[in-house]
Structure 1
Amino acid sequence: MQHAVAVVRAFRPNFLILAPLCAAGGIAVAWRQGVPLSVLDLGLVLLGALLAHAAVNLFNEYDDFRSGLDLLTRRTPFSGGSGALPETPEAAGGVRAAALGTLALVVAIGLYFLWHAGWPMLVIGIAGLALILTYTRWLTRHPLLCLLAPGLGFGPVMVLGSVLALGGRIDAMALLVALVALLLVSELLLINQIPDAEADRQVGRRHLVILAGRDRAARVVALLLLGGYLVVIAGVAAGVLPGTTLLALLPLPAALWLAARLPGAWRVPERLHRVLGTNVAVLLSTLALLALGLSL
């Protein structure tokens, strides 16, 4: 029973809402394009996104335990892993099996859409698999790739993959929605690396926080976060996005507060935790409101 609980914790279920929200952006774009949406395909798109995110979490938990990183980090509710394997080391095999099993289900769903939607899905699928399998072990050692990889996975791969899977096309609207997700998710991973920087350095990681320092990384976080809102504004101004997507700007005041507070907040753990929590709420609400705006 204890092993099973550890495996479930390693899924990090509290954070799995991010993937369906990114997929929802792609679904909303396909709906805007007039694509007839079947319940089966909608369900498989959302399930595939959820399982892909779960697979990333599981591989990350397993690799961080094997590398010793889990024993070095100070966990927060938003960073440092679940802590499941340091507390239950004997569950490592179960977590690895769950990661491989989850990935196999993702591949099965991908093959269905490859048969159903055609060869463009193959490019998306290969890119997604490469990101899942290489992120923790290799991409985290290359600052630019480490910064962009999460956003690429949840933006172009997940958003555009959802559009193509449902029979839609990659147009300017789809690209802008994918870009918003790319900026916001890359920002999310970067801000969560701030409290883990010293532990990451000890196991050979080399991301932007380690390379440039926490203050400069905090400024990049602000640029990425606010850049997501600028993309929405520019898209509406250019007539690419419908005016209803301005709903996504509702969390902007909180985003501005984050941009102002983060540079000093990392020095005080309690303040940093508040900033990290607010950041998650801002990101999720922005993506949800963007999908809603596209659907109206």
Structure 2
Amino acid sequence: MRLPFLILTPVCVLLGLSVVIASQREVEGYLLVLTLLVAMFAHVSVNALNEYFDFSNGLDLKTLRTPFSGGSGALPQHPEMAVAVLILGLGSLLATVLLGAFFVWKYGAAVMPLGVAGLLLVAAYTPWITKRPFLCLIGPGLGFGFLMVAGTHFAMTGEYSTLSWQVAVVPFFLVNNLLLLNQYPDIHADRSVGRNNILIAYGTQLGSVVYGVFATLAMAAIVLLAGSGIVPALSLIALLPMPLAFFALSGAVKYGEAIGNYPHFLLANVLVALLTPALLGVAIIFG
């Protein structure tokens, strides 16, 4: 399940919840719990299925592991657990569908676009999306940014919110960067099993430019939202972790594929992806 990676899920749910609270809508505890469970099962499913496929195609045996690698590296040590991991992935996907069916029953077909898009993203990520550079680049941000943040608001209220889509721009860019930087140490291993992300297709120099652009756009989104009064001025505190993104970028530029040997850069990348949307959510609630 890659438990440390799952921290991102409640952070994105918190950001969606902040919009509900800011709009002075009632927060029903059971809906919040079910929303968090749907998001968590979806995240566990994509992690476990990715783990299974990476072991099955031999990628886990070729990857030079870092503390921030996508896979846990457990299956090469315990290959007899492969079927159990597949069952975990499919079982979590089924749980996502069943819990999602509750929201369809409660709110009707309006929730279906979010649900179907989320399921397609989970099921297609490893076998299909990772072979298409542009989709591989934006897939993580679509899932954790737009679908999870806007989905949380809908699950809590039965309505779509313009504000939830606007604030979701921030985790969209940062989560894309989170996965992008973690792909640097795995370029050769990923290429050998047929993956084709932006680093493989166009090189690390362009990857670093994209990372810098995404980090800048995340900052710009926070400033524009706060400056225009769409979110409270307190939301500018979400800029505090952003220097970590440019520290991480400096590591990517300097070391390229060898950045895995300098995990403090990867850690900075993780921290900015978690702290920035968390601070933005807290600021929206209390601002």
Give your verdict on TM over 0.5: yes
Q: CA deviation at 1:256?
A: 2.9
Contact 1:117 1:167 in 2 (8 A): no
- The amino acid that maps onto 2:171 is A
Q: CA deviation at 1:172?
A: 3.3
Q: 1:198 aligns with which of 175, 181, 188?
A: 188
Indicate yes or no: 2:206 matched with 1:216.
yes
Q: What secondary structure sits across from 2:69 in the alignment?
A: coil
User: Which residue of structure 2 lines up, in the alignment, with residue 162 of structure 1?
Assistant: 152
User: Which residue of structure 2 lines up, in the alignment, with residue 20 of structure 1?
Assistant: 10
Count residues with an aligned counterpart: 286
Unaligned runs of 5+ in 1: 1-10
Q: CA deviation at 1:266?
A: 2.8
Q: CA deviation at 1:255?
A: 2.5
For normalisation by structure 1, the TM-score amounts to 0.93
Q: CA deviation at 1:267?
A: 5.3
User: Which residue of structure 1 lines up, in the alignment, with residue 141 of structure 2?
Assistant: 151
User: Which residue of structure 2 lines up, in the alignment, with residue 179 of structure 1?
Assistant: 169
Find the aligned partners of 1:161 and 1:171 in 2 and give their Cα distance.
10
Q: 1:281 aligns with which of 262, 271, 278?
A: 271
User: Which residue of structure 2 lines up, in the alignment, with residue 7 of structure 1?
Assistant: none
Identity across aligned pairs (percent)?
A: 40
Q: 1:139 aligns with which of 129, 143, 161?
A: 129
| 229-238 vs 169-178, which moves further | 169-178
Indicate yes or no: 2:229 matched with 1:239.
yes
Contact 1:172 1:240 in 2 (8 A): no
Contact 2:198 2:207 in 1 (8 A): yes
User: Which residue of structure 2 lines up, in the alignment, with residue 6 of structure 1?
Assistant: none
Find the aligned partners of 2:245 and 2:134 in 1 and give their Cα distance.
23
Q: Write out aligned runs for 1:22-101 (5 A).
A: 22-101=12-91
Q: CA deviation at 1:268?
A: 4.3
Assess, with a 3 A threshold, how the Cα gap between structure 1 residues 76 and 249 changes in structure 2: closer, same or farther.
Answer: same
User: Which residue of structure 1 lines up, in the alignment, with residue 242 of structure 2?
Assistant: 252
For normalisation by structure 2, the TM-score amounts to 0.95
Q: Write out aligned runs for 1:97-136 (5 A).
A: 97-136=87-126
Find the aligned partners of 2:257 and 2:76 in 1 and give their Cα distance.
26
Indicate yes or no: 2:191 matched with 1:188.
no
Find the aligned partners of 2:194 and 2:113 in 1 and give their Cα distance.
30
Contact 1:265 1:275 in 2 (8 A): no
User: Per-residue CA shift, 1:113-165, capped at 9, x if unaligned?
Assistant: 11223322111000000000001000111110111111111111111111111
Q: CA deviation at 1:61?
A: 0.1
